[in-house]
Structure 1
Amino acid sequence: MNTSRHRSALLAVAGTALALSLTACQSDSDATSSSAPTTSATVASSPAAAASTADKGTAASDGTGSTGSAGAKTSAGSKGSGGSTGTSAGSTGATGEQAKASTPVCTAGDVRVTAARQDGPPYTHIVLTAKNTTGHSCRLTGFPHIQFLESHKQDVPSVAKSKPAAPVVLTPGAPAYALVKLSDGGVDEDNEPVSAFSVMLEGDSTVIAVTAPGSDGIAVDPAKALTGYWTPELRNGADDF
C-alpha cells in the first residue's frame, strides 16, 4: 500500500517535472519566435535608416553646395573689386599727357587738308581744315608749313599766341583748324593771285597740294601772310591776327 502511494507520488513528481520542462521549452520557443520578428524588423529598418541618413547627407551636401555657390558669388565679388583696380588704371590712363604723347603724329596720309574763305570781301583770311581720314587717332602738332608762291620759297610765319595749351589729338573723322592771313586787304598792296599752294605737316616732309578757295583763287601779299597753329576750333583773340 505504501509502495503504491510512493509510486503515485513519484509519478506525480515526474509528471510535474515533465510539465515544467515542456512549459520551459515552449517558453524558450515563444521567446525565440518573438525575438526573431524583432530582429527582422531591425534589419528591415536599417536600409530606411541608411536612406534617411543618406538623404540627410545629401541635404547637408546640398547645403554645402549652396554655401559653395555663395562662396563663388563672394569670389565674383572679389573680381568685382578687381574691376575697381581696372577703373583706377583707367583713371591713370585718363591723366591725358602720357596717352596723348603715345598717340602717333599725324602724317600727310592720315589727313585731308582743305581751304575755305573766312568772312566776306575783302577776303583777308582763309581757314585750313585738316580732317583725320583714318580709323585711328593721331596727334597734329605745330602749325601748317605753307608756301603760297614759287617766287617765295620760305614758309609763312606762324603766330605764337595761337599755339594751343594741349596737344591736338584727332580721333577718326575729327577736324583741326588753322587760320591763315593772306593780306591786309588794302588796294595798294603787292598782292599776287594764287590758285593752289603747298602745305606740309610738322614732322612730315610730304607736300600736300591744296586748291585755293573761290573761282578766281586768292590774293596773297607774301609780306603780310601769317598762319596760326592747328587747334580743335578757331578761338577769338588768339586767332585774331
Structure 2
Amino acid sequence: MRGSDVGTLRRLLDELTERHGRLDGWWPAASRFEVMIGSILTQRTRWENAAASLERLRGAGLLSDPNLLVGATRISDETLVDLIRPSGFVRAKSRACRAVATWVCRVGAADALLASPLDRAAGGPPTTLPALADVDSDQLRGDLLTVHGVGPETADAQLLFAFDRPTFIADAYTHQVFSARGLVAPDGYMPMRALWQPRLQEEGFNAAEAQRLHALLVEEGSELR
C-alpha cells in the first residue's frame, strides 16, 4: 500500500478491520461530556491512568453535571486535584477540566452532551447532536481550540468522539502505522492532518467509520511499538 491515492483510507480500514475486528464502541464512556473530560485526562499518560481518574470523578458525581465543576457550588481545587491524581499533571489537567466544563455550559451544550447516548455498536452513522448542529466542523474545532488545555489532537478527539464529526486524528500511532506501510506521513501533527483530513472527506467517511479507523490505528500502532 503506497502513497495517498483516493481509496487509501478505505483500503486501510478494511485491512485493519480484518486484522483486529471492527472495534465498535472503542472509546468507553457513559456520555459525550465524559469523552471530553477523558480527552483531557489521557494527555501525556496511559489510558488506564485516565480511566482511574474518570472512575473517581464518576464516583463523586462530577461527570453528571458540568456545573459541578464551574458553578457556585463547584468542587474545591484541592478535591478535584486529588480525584484526578492517577492521570498525573494534576494542576494543569484540573484547570483544563474546568475550562472544558465552562465551555460546555457557555455554548448551551450541557444537556445534549449528558443525555445523548453513545450507541456506536451497530456501526452506523451516529446521531447528530442537536446542540451545535448548525456549526460546521471547522468552526467548532476552532472554538474548541480556544479552551484552555485543548490542543489540536485533543480538539480532534473531541470532534470525532464527542460530537460525531468525521475527523482524522494524526497522532503518534497514526504516524507510526502510515510510515510502516509506506503511506505519506509528514512530520508534525498539523501537516499530517492537513494532508489526510481532506482525503477522509473525499472518501466519504461518516463519523462511525472515522471512529473505527482511529481505534484500529491505535490498536495497530500499539503492536508496532
The interval holding the TM-score normalised by the smaller chain is under 0.3
What TM-score comes out, normalization by structure 2 length? 0.20
Normalising by structure 1, we get a TM-score of 0.19
Query: Whose strand fraction is larger, Structure 1's or Structure 2's?
Result: 1
Q: Which one has the largest radius of gyration?
A: 1
Higher RCO by CA contacts (8 Å cutoff, separation 6 or greater): 2
Higher helix content, 1 or 2: 2
